[in-house]
Amino acid sequence: ITTILRDARKLDAYFTLLLEATVHIMSGSHSSSDDSSDSRKRPREKDIDLDTSPKRPNCEDNVQLKILVPSIAAGAVIGKSGEAIGRI
């Protein structure tokens, strides 16, 4: 039982970090100042008109994230009465 609880805590911490990283990336705050000093990269365009841009926007209202979990860990991810999966 203690091994299962320890593994469940590790999974909970892992999914929390994964979710936070996903939110961080989707918010656009993941860019670093190191990218701008790389001479191999094209300079960033200053003014971008979103209405006429041929590319799709970088983020959407709904983001789907698919995570594959081994069947042995599925119970720990779901949690008692779905409590853990509800927090995720």
pLDDT digits (tens, 9 = 90+) for 3-31: 777 778 888 888 888 888 887 777 765 45
Per-residue pLDDT tens for 30-72?
455 555 556 777 777 766 555 555 666 666 677 777 888 888 8
Q: Return d(Cα 88, Cα 8) in angstroms, integer.
A: 13
Nearest Cα residue to 62 out of 29, 30, 31, 22? 22
Would you say the C-alpha torsion 29, 35, 37, 39 has a positive or negative sign? Answer: negative
The domain segmentation of the chain, as residue ranges, is: 1-29+64-88
